[in-house]
Structure 1
């Protein structure tokens, strides 16, 4: 993984989580802003999939368990669409908070993926 991209992903996921949580606690229902923030988080995760495929060929192999890394990555990619579908089905203020919690979970998962890729020794 690329360190600056990891920091970008964690920052965007935390910002999206904070935005959605504040909007939800303020009583706002899912809107283009909250759903769009989840789209941005998903876009960065899809870019991470491409980076994870290309990095070993570019001389940046993982030091940890590759299977564990991919399980984290695939799970993280599935979370934003699931949160958005939930929000669009329920359309309540708490569904916006659920999108925020999903973003915070993704931030933690991305950092864990970075640790698996760079720090752990298999």
Structure 2
């Protein structure tokens, strides 16, 4: 059932989520949420997505914009146990280069973020890779 309530932005720019919403979504202090911005509609969606104890990382890579490149990257991430929470890709120069960004949970990953960066680069799946802990 959809519910509506008025939230507010405090003086530090933080979104205050009403207590009734936090209770319904089981959001506690320091819970992780994904903010989705639709700049055309001028809306923000707040989506709970991570439990406490997850090892969340942000992945950003530059890759070739050729058929199959992204699927090979996703297969490698899945094989190594990186749990994909959210992702987005875009072509920077059609047919030449593309960008891929993702939020990953590394709690079941077989490799460290640094080792996964090296693997993506050594298999020439990415031109550059950055994995940062959130």
Instruction: State TM-score, norm by structure 1.
Output: 0.24
More helix by share: 1
Bigger radius of gyration: 2
More relative contact order, 1 or 2 (CA 8 Å, 6+ apart): 1
